[in-house]
Amino acid sequence: MLRPDGFAERLAGVSLERLADEGVRGIIVDLDNTLVGYGSSACDPLDSAWVHSAVSRGFRVVLLSNNFTGRVQRIGEALGVPTVASALKPLPTAFWRALAVLRTPRKATVVVGDQLFTDVLGARLCGLRAILTHPLEPHDWVGTRVLRFFERIILGKRRRA
Ligand SMILES: [Mg+2]
């Protein structure tokens, strides 16, 4: 349940070619510390280029965030991809909402995110694949910092690209 299918240094490090080869058609991307720094609205050009490249290759992409609607929506609009906010990950309902937007089969959908207990666990509960990235910044919401402690115990040295 807590074992990712793959690791990546960052979002832009996830190989779209490999995802395509594996039959993936839909990508659910976490927002905070995966696409943008925590609380930030600025996306690194590397990662925005990755999103654009995914869309132009025909992948369906959705941003899925536990954060509130306004900011999430603005980032999605800037990138030209749909968003699902206030998601309550790891609850499966969050991922069902994202799947409803993507309209891709579970087996052809992957979740990319920086947290074991929201992104990876949620993906698993929903029967989706998961790729764990390094958090973009060391800053986190206070609740997340507690989860990071347990993440380190479970992952040990396994978290590598
Ligand atoms: Mg995150």
The pLDDT tens digits of the residues spanning 43-74 come to 999 999 999 999 999 999 999 999 999 999 99
**pLDDT digit string, tens, across residues 108-131:** 999 999 999 999 999 999 999 999
Ligand 1 mean position, distance from CA 20 (Å): 24
Residue 104 Cα to ligand 1 midpoint, Å, equals 22
**Ligand 1: centre distance to CA 22 (Å):** 24
DSSP for 110-145? EEEES-IIIIIHHHHHTT-EEEEE--SSS---HHHH
Residue 70 C-alpha to ligand 1 middle, in angstroms? Answer: 17
Instruction: State the pLDDT at residue 42.
Output: 87
Q: Note if the pTM is more than 0.85.
A: yes
* 3 state SS of 84: strand
Q: Domains in the chain and their CATH numbers? A: 6-154 (3.40.50.1000)
